[in-house]
Amino acid sequence: MQYRTLKHTGENVSVLGLGCMRFPTIDGGEKINETEAIKMIRFAIDNGVNYIDTAWPYHGGQSESVVGKALQDGYRDKVMLATKCPVFSLNRPEDFEEIFEKQLEKLQTDHIDFYLMHSLSENTWNNVVLKFGLLEKAVREKEAGRIRHIGFSFHDTFQVFQQIIHGFNQWEFCQIQLNYADINNQAGIQGLRYAAEQGLDVIIMEPLRGGRLAIPPARVADRLAPQKTPVEWGLDFLWNQKEVGVVLSGMSSMTQLMENIGYADCAKVDMLTAEEKEMLVQAGEIFNHGALVGCTGCGYCLPCPVGIEIPEIFRLYNQTASGNAKQAKEQYEQLSCKADQCRKCRQCEKNCPQHIEIHSVMEQAAVCFAK
């Protein structure tokens, strides 16, 4: 395992972090396969991973509890633990304290190493974080020793990213979505470098676009040189950047975990040639050209009141533009709740990190699959 020393916090972190949003589940549902997940967490730590990232809503609220169980028997002392304040779920200022206490209980710890304001956007920044005084509350917990480092994760435009960075003088780190297809999306490469210039450590999420770059469309895969797997190319694109600290990967099987740990052994800054960097930029452009909707499959939009599996419909909809329309339509027909059953309540859109107008895309998907 390779490690990098974060410039602001001074922490020595593994280049690969374990994201705890996509644990293996039982029978394809949402319930975590605890035995396998705990086995994976401990295997990761035993093999050098020392940054574990979870959050209040992951796996319907189960993730923090499973992580807490995995970190018993001395494992808690071996890692830096990150979790997040679910700002999009807070209805009053007191919710911060109540949720934070429950998080410590679920994680079975007396402190959080990296605590984030979760999924900040212009709306949640102004109407929750500032309105409810959450930053002052986080500072008090830091002074009490129950938070070590304060940061935020982000899903909005670069301009909003700048506003949030300059809106609080005690930020220590940020977490942004970045991969070779998202260099100009959200904070993007510009945000990565800007945050570093402002003295913040940078953690990367969605390095493979929710797995979409792990098994990319054929036209994207054809652009990638064959000496590395698509996953390795995706991770190397990030590890190549000197501003990147930890790259979080939400691995859902032991095989994925073992492979990514192997890739991390070779990670270093400036590991790519100019030709390889250009190849990845071109692959990203090809990917974006054929993506009908920018869904990463995070599941924040669920549950749908009428039972629509939104990420799955979006996955199949994107597949229709990737040369697999027949297969996509066959799989779509097997779904019990289809796109045309959307009531346009827009409840799902409130929590979508990608700010997708889901009701509108559902209309488009319904028309596509009706042809």
Q: What is the pLDDT of residues 243-295, one digit of tens each?
A: 999 999 999 999 999 999 999 999 999 999 999 999 999 999 999 887 777 78
The pLDDT score that the predictor gives to residue 322 is 64
| Shared domain check, 351 and 208 | no
- Residue 314 included in any domain: yes
| Shared domain check, 315 and 273 | no
- Residue 303 included in any domain: no
- Residue 112 included in any domain: yes
Number of domains into which the chain is organized: 2
List 248's β-bridge partners, or say none.
17
| Shared domain check, 322 and 284 | no
**Can you give the three-state secondary structure of 185-246, one letter per residue?**
CCCHHHHHHHHHHCCCEEEEECCCCCCCCCCCCHHHHCCCCCCCCHHHHHHHHHHCCCCEEE
- In eight-state DSSP terms, residue 304 is P
- Residue 189 included in any domain: yes
Q: Who contacts 285 (Cβ-Cβ below 8 Å, separation ≥6)?
A: none
List 147's β-bridge partners, or say none.
112
- Which position has the token pair 């003295």? 199
| Shared domain check, 245 and 116 | yes
Type and span of the H or E element at 113: strand 112-120
DSSP readout, 353-365?
Answer: TT---HHHHHHHH
- Residue 296 included in any domain: no
| Shared domain check, 50 and 162 | yes
Residue 78 token pair: 């071996």
Tens digit of pLDDT for each residue in 27-54?
A: 777 799 999 999 999 999 999 999 999 9
User: The domain that contains 210 carries what CATH number?
Assistant: 3.20.20.100
Contact 114, 81 (CB under 8 A): yes
List 53's β-bridge partners, or say none.
19, 82
Strands 173-177 and 201-205: parallel
Question: Torsion angle of alpha carbons 234, 202, 318, 340, nearest 10°?
Answer: 160
Distance CA 250, CA 325 (A): 28
Residue-range definition of the domain harbouring residue 324: 310-370
User: What does the buried/exposed string (b/e) look like for 255-271 if buried means 16 or more CB atoms within 10 Å of the residue's CB?
Assistant: ebbebbbebbeebeeee
| Shared domain check, 254 and 184 | yes
- Letter for the amino acid at 333? E
Q: How big is the chain by its Cα radius of gyration, in Å? A: 20
The pLDDT score that the predictor gives to residue 323 is 62
Q: Which of 232, 259, 290 finishes a domain? A: 290
Q: Where are the alpha helices (DSSP H) in the chain?
A: 34-46, 63-70, 95-107, 122-124, 134-143, 158-165, 188-197, 218-221, 230-239, 254-264, 274-290, 310-319, 325-333, 358-370
Residue 60 token pair: 């319907």
- Residue 295 included in any domain: no
- Residue 301 included in any domain: no
- Residue 304 included in any domain: no
Selection from 55, 67, 70 nearest residue 151 by Cα:
55
Distance CA 158, CA 156 (A): 7
| Shared domain check, 331 and 286 | no
| Shared domain check, 319 and 172 | no
| Shared domain check, 219 and 110 | yes
137 CB neighbour count, 10 Å cutoff: 17
- Which position has the token pair 């913040």? 200
| Shared domain check, 329 and 276 | no
The pLDDT score that the predictor gives to residue 343 is 87
| Shared domain check, 275 and 343 | no
| Shared domain check, 330 and 275 | no
Low-confidence ranges of the chain (pLDDT < 50): none
Residue 256 token pair: 């994925």
List 117's β-bridge partners, or say none.
85, 152
Tens digit of pLDDT for each residue in 285-297?
A: 999 887 777 787 7
What SS3 state is found at 123? helix
